[in-house]
Amino acid sequence: YGFAVLDEHGNPLPVDAMATQLLSLARARLPHLNDVSSNGIFIQNASRLYVDAGYHPELAGCECTNPWDVVRYMLAGDRILSSLATALESTLPPGSQVFVFKTNVDHGGKGVTWGSHESQLHRVDPLLLPPQLIPHLVSRVIYCGAGGFRNNSAGLQFLVSPRAAHIEHVLSSSSTAARGIFHTKDETLSTKGYHRLHIICGESLSSHRAAWLRMATTSLVTAMAEAGLRPGDAVELASPLEALRAFAADPDLAALVPGAR
């Protein structure tokens, strides 16, 4: 979530101190277990709340087995952060304002993005996944892009997916710079033999339907690859990065991109 606090005169307060205070309020108000590996906490619905790089609050939803629950827990996270923001505001002088933004890019001049990450548990060789998933990740922006204005452009440009403008590679191991359509980070975080597919090219969404489709369709494509099918072979793209940018910049949904064959 984007995060900002203004004092009673409209001046910004130090975001690091305010984020720390927000997390302290969470510790005081929410039943939780401490996260021994970071500054975060695990709250009563099994989600993890912590302050991430750039001093903004981040909420990692609990493990789910269907897309309906994913959406439910995302909405629960929105309400929890809204409640904490109200509590923080009550500790400040009258007229102060606390803002928590469910957005994906910064329009304050820094030109940064934070997006919304997804994780899928699977048992297929991670090296086999990129060609099967990349065409899907590129094209799904037409129904699960957040919409908004490009924040790293000199002019005013609407994008179906503002985060797409910050994706620089097809494959990448980094999540904070030189981001890729397919993130090669692989952590088991579970029983031996399982892998974590970590997807970083997606965005926080306000549409319940779009959030459901994002999780449901990506789970299906991952499951197809895990079952030995090759759903990406017939729709392999000549240039996935150029295709992503073309789809993201086309609100009329009329863009055509070349296939690899």
Kindly state the tokens that stand for 80.
């929890």
52 catalytically annotated: yes
152 backbone dihedrals φ, ψ, rounded to 5°: -120, 35
What tokens appear for 30 in the block?
């929410």
- Strand partners of residue 41: 34, 49
Active-site residue (options: 16, 52, 78, 252): 52
Token pair of 97, please? 């304002």
State the Cα angle at 127 between 121 and 133, rounded to 5°.
Answer: 65
In the numeric block, which tokens belong to residue 185? 């980070």
**Number of Cβ atoms within 10 Å of the Cβ of 123:** 9
What's at 16, amino acid-wise? D
Indicate which residues carry an active-site annotation: 52
